[in-house]
Amino acid sequence: MYSPRKVLPAPETNDFGFPYTPYAIQEQLMQELFQVLERKQIGIFESPTGTGKSLTLTCAALTWLQQHEQLVRSELLQRIDDVETELRTLQAASAEAEDWITAQSNTLKQRQELQQLQRLRALLLEKEQELEQMKQRKKQQQRTARKAVDLQQQEELLPDPELDSDEEPSELEAQVEPELSEQRFRDVQIFYCSRTHSQLAQIVAELKKTPHGRQVRCISLGSRQQLCVNPQVRRLPNVALMNERCLDMARSKTPANPSKKPRLEGVGRCAYKAPGQLQRLSDVALCDPLDIEELAKEGAACGSCPYYATRAAQAQAQLVLLPYPLLLQRSSRQQLGIDLRGAIIIVDEAHNLLDTIAQLHSSELTLSQLQLAKEQLGAYKSRYARRLSSANLLRINQLIFVVRRLLQLLQLDAEPRMLRTYELSSEGDFFNIDLHAVLQFCSRTRFAQKLQGFSQQQLREPLPSENRPPATQQLLQRLAKEHQLSQMTKKRKLQEEQQEQEQKLSLEQPMQLKAAIPSPIRPLLAFLETLTSDAADGRILLNPKAQTVKYLLLNPAEHFADIVAEARALIIAGGTMQPTHELTAQLFAQCPERVVERFYSHVVPPDAVLPFVLPTGPTGATLCFNYAQRANPLMLKELTMVLQNLCSVLPAGLVCFLPSYDYLDTVYAQLQQSGALQRISQRKRIFRESAGGSVEQLLQQYAETIGEGGGALLLSVVGGKLSEGLNFADNLGRGVIVVGLPYPNRHAPELKERMRHLDEQLGNGAGNEYYENLSMKAVNQCIGRSVRHIRDYACVYLLDERYTNPRIQQKLPAWIARHLNVASDGFGAVQARTARFFKTKSQALKPEP
């Protein structure tokens, strides 16, 4: 990778390719982000929800990339000319010099630099030629394009004979791709990471509106669950089973012919992974920005696997869109061949970045998983013991021993305990086993895949032929049985048949159940890997009552350090990033000089939001919705009256966020019993979020009700699916109610240990600060659902006396806190001001006569 010597100045606002007239804060953000990328810094940017943050980040980053690539090419070619000139001058001088050795040494540095620059130029020209060929292939496809066919027609295709070369990439690609990457010109790549695929899809949609969308090579990465188009894999109930089936098909030597049903389901090779088809889909994806759904449709239409096509294309992409797990987990990056050296990394919606890293690198095993692992490992050892080398047999025995000891610990009658990693291995009596060696054995031999394939084969295949009697003996036994049956009475015969059928069903049911359970070997190895980490970075929660053993990561910096070290620049962005001390202290303690923090106000005018704190209810009772008091009859009565009264003055949509799903059910039951549900329904249709329900269907019904001119009340949960990343713009959210402060359970073992760790690492009080920030960040996310653009307006109601605390108010978004109204004069004044607010807004929106 060539590093230019010239420094790029920040461009003018009109040069960023922003598709709209930017607001002042958008101009500032683009200018300052450009400088952060150029100076190789770490930028923490807070831009309130609804200010076009994602589009602003994308335009600024792509503008920098475009100018950087132009500078690299021009400066590289110019530098080659300069060095050649210098070398000719030195060679001419050395020809006349008396000291030939000294003269030659003077030209050595220039010759070496020239060789390196010429090699980079050759790689650059080769890459440009590859990109031109890709464009020509894409044009050829467009000229010869056929009408898309459905999946059933595509299944008639036979696979390419080169499919035998496909292997599971977790080991093979990890070894090959670094070598290949050194043989090609490496441009700077931008990795844009967000929480959900829907958020990434919005970026693709906005990108298409910009000039960058016509020229940028953009790839969206996802899991098999989002991208697989093979019906045999897609119909499986979870992503773990989908991964296992896909890998089984990748290793299979049986040619796939989807027109015929295979003798053993799932053992044929995948017809969607023919190299020619993958190449065509990769070209399409690189030439036209596509989101995950569009990639899946395109793959289905051309009979190619989007999962493997995007993996093959990402090395040539300029902008790579991917969800958190694919970027933040080292194993996922290695599997996908992601190289972060010299890259730009943008982490959007990063308000919970620390918790996300901790969750991704925590690992949990259940008693049932360990029991199944013990069973599968024992069967594998019994089958192949004679064929295994002594060293490999030793590692398998060690693995079985560790599983047995973990099972014993979980089967004890004991209270939940928090242990260090070495304490668990000591109590389990496997402290003298080299877990590093065991894991290396599993990785080197691809043991997880072998055990997984063996277990599936055990479920599908009948008993091995060597365990059956000889063919002649089978014939004699069958003739004897037929003679015996002919002598039986009809009644006895029916009884025997019924018993045989019952036995068959009793055997098939557990077999079908096991087939639907993902293999436990990968979770087991992931857990064992956590035991090899630094003991100070995590703890083990041993919980025999819940029948689980879980590793908790307490130090996220351990798994983020390589990202910080390898990336050229890192952008951490979100709508609610403050306070940032905890983030910088944990992730960037080794490089504080690189950190730049920028915080921006909202684009909406001051009178667009009317926020209230309600310390008392309609009857004057103090509102306190903590865990101890929120379910008592008085609090439920006050909340019911608040909802009923606000629904009478608030137009269109009102969203109410409650602390938990259980409390939502309690409130809904109170609304029914009190008759308030029926009274509210006369003005607004009531919807409620459920823990396992479909959010898309709920939102569609909610939006349709409001779109038809009616009103709606949506009961939701803080931290639930509706509280983050969704858009309640305009009439969908004219009011937002947050009930209480959603503090998590302070006595939960995991939270207690994390707070204790923060106190030890960052000083006394850091744990309490973290505890309070968890609640306030969740509240701020709820508030941000309402005002989504400059012409939007809404009311916000914070129901709890604790919101009057200045410390709590300081942690609210600045654009809310500076206009906060504490309703000290009673609820009636709140209701009246709400009515006047919407009356004023409706009059302002009326067209002039």
pLDDT in tens, 210-220: 999 999 999 99
Pairing of strands 711-717, 684-688: parallel
Residue 119 CB-density burial (10 A; 0-12 exposed, 13-18 middle, 19+ buried):
exposed
Q: What share of the chain is helix, strand, coil (3-state, %, to 5)?
A: 60, 10, 30
The pLDDT score that the predictor gives to residue 179 is 41
Mean pLDDT of 182-190: 83
Average pLDDT over residues 571-594: 92
Q: Give the range among 268-277, 322-331, 386-395, 469-478 with minimum mean pLDDT.
A: 469-478
Instruction: Tell me whether residue 108 is exposed, middle or buried, using C-beta atoms within 10 angstroms of its C-beta: 0 to 12, 13 to 18, 19 or more.
Output: exposed
- Checking if the pLDDT of 599 tops 80, the result is yes
Cis peptide leading into residue 605 (ω within 30°): no
- CA-CA distance, 22 to 30, in Å (whole number)? 10
Q: Are 792 and 608 in contact (CB under 8 A)?
A: yes
Residue 591 has pLDDT above 90, yes or no: yes
- CA angle at 193 for the pair 18 and 361, rounded to the nearest 5°: 165
Angle, alpha carbons 706-712-714 (nearest 5°): 120
Exposure of 395 by Cβ count < 10 A (0-12 exposed, 13-18 middle, 19+ buried)? buried
Per-residue confidence at 505, pLDDT binned at 50, 70, 90? very low
413 by DSSP, 3-state: which? coil
Would residue 259 be called left, alpha or beta, if left means φ above 0 and alpha means ψ between -120 and 50 degrees? alpha
Can you tell me the mean pLDDT for 160-189? 48
- pLDDT at site 157: 36
pLDDT-based confidence at 131, cuts 50/70/90? confident
Residue-level pLDDT at 130 = 87
Tell me the pLDDT band of 176, cut-offs 50, 70 and 90: very low
**180 falls in which pLDDT band (50, 70, 90)?**
very low
- Residue 727, pLDDT > 90, answer no
Average pLDDT rounded to a whole number, residues 706-724: 88
pLDDT at residue 487, rounded to an integer: 55
- Weakest-pLDDT range from 24-38, 151-165, 534-548: 151-165
Mean pLDDT of 324-350: 92
Please compute the mean of the pLDDT values over residues 193-210 and round it to a whole number: 91
Average pLDDT of 280-286?
Answer: 91
In this prediction, residues 531-535 reach a mean pLDDT of 92
- Res. 655: pLDDT tops 90: yes
| Mean pLDDT for the stretch of residues 369-382 | 94
Q: How many whole angstroms separate alpha carbon 578 and alpha carbon 588? A: 16
Strand ranges across the sheet with 609-614: 684-688, 711-717, 653-658, 735-739, 794-799, 609-614, 821-822
Extract the tokens encoding 552: 């908790």
Residue 158 is predicted with a pLDDT of 35
What's the average model confidence in pLDDT over 318-336? 92
Percent of the chain with pLDDT over 90: 58
Inform me whether the pLDDT recorded for 724 exceeds 90: no
9: helix, strand or coil = coil
Residue 39 has pLDDT above 60, yes or no: yes
Per-residue tokens: 555: 């130090």
| Cα–Cα distance list, 37 to 67, 155, 588, 753, 835 (Å) | 12, 46, 17, 37, 47
Question: Is the pLDDT reported for residue 167 higher than 50?
Answer: no
Token pair of 40 as six digits = 């190789």
* CB neighbours of residue 769 within 10 Å: 18
What's the CA gap between 640 and 671, in Å, rounded?
6
CB 303 within 8 A of CB 281: no
Closest CA to 407 of 513, 523, 544, 528: 544
Report the b/e string of 450-477 with b at 16+ CB within 10 A. ebbbebbebeeeeeeeeeeeeeeeeeee
pLDDT by residue (tens digit) across 422-455? 999 999 999 999 999 999 999 999 898 889 888 8
Convert the pLDDT of each residue in 221-266 to its tens digit: 998 888 999 988 888 877 777 887 887 787 666 555 544 444 444 4
Alpha carbon distance 770, 582 (integer Å)? 8
Strands laid side by side in the 218-220 sheet = 218-220, 319-323, 190-194, 344-347, 569-574, 42-46, 595-599
Question: Residue 169: pLDDT above 60?
Answer: no
| For residue 36, pLDDT beyond 50 | yes
What is the per-residue pLDDT for 668?
Answer: 96
Residues contacting 278, CB < 8 A, separation 6+: 304, 305, 308, 309, 312
Q: Taking residues 740-761, what's their average pLDDT? A: 93
pLDDT interval class at 183 (50, 70, 90): confident
Tell me which residue of 436, 373, 351, 473 sits closest to 46, measured CA to CA: 351
- What is the CA angle 88-90-93, rounded to 5? 110
Question: What mean pLDDT is reported for the chain?
Answer: 85
Q: Nearest-CA neighbor of 285 among 258, 304, 265, 261?
A: 304
Residue 616 has pLDDT above 60, yes or no: yes
The whole-number pLDDT of residue 170 equals: 40
Q: Which amino acid is at 164?
A: D
| pLDDT band (50, 70, 90) for residue 725 | low
Cα atoms in the 13 Å half-sphere on the side-chain side of 376: 30
Least confident of 246-250, 619-623, 831-835: 246-250
How far apart are alpha carbons 42 and 596 in whole angstroms? 6
CA atoms within 13 A on the CB side of 176: 9
Write down the pLDDT at residue 481: 59
Q: In what order do the strands lie in the sheet with 417-419?
A: 363-366, 548-553, 538-543, 417-419
Enter the tokens of residue 125.
Answer: 């020209």
Longest dimension (CA), the chain: 119
- Give residue-wise pLDDT tens across range 657-683: 999 999 999 999 999 999 999 999 999
Q: What tokens appear for 298 in the block? A: 């395109």
CB 824 within 8 A of CB 638: no
Residue 511 CA to residue 578 CA, distance in Å, equals 52
Closest CA relative to residue 756, chosen from 748, 747, 766:
766
Average pLDDT over residues 754-776: 93
Which helix (H) or strand (E) is 782 found in, with range?
A: helix 766-783
> Contact, 26 vs 18, CB < 8 A?
yes
pLDDT surpasses 90 at 367 = yes
pLDDT by residue (tens digit) across 767-801? 999 999 999 989 998 988 888 888 899 999 999 99
pLDDT at 87: 84
Q: What is the pLDDT of residues 455-497, one digit of tens each?
A: 877 776 654 444 445 544 554 455 455 556 555 554 455 555 5
Check if the beta carbon of residue 310 is closer than 8 Å to that of residue 282.
yes
Q: How many other CB atoms are found less than 10 A from the CB of residue 842?
A: 10
> Is the model more confident about 167 or about 225?
225
Taking residues 628-644, report their average pLDDT.
95
Between 1 and 474, the more confident residue is: 1
> Percentage of the chain with pLDDT > 70?
84
Q: Is the dihedral of CA 383, 386, 389, 390 positive or negative?
A: positive
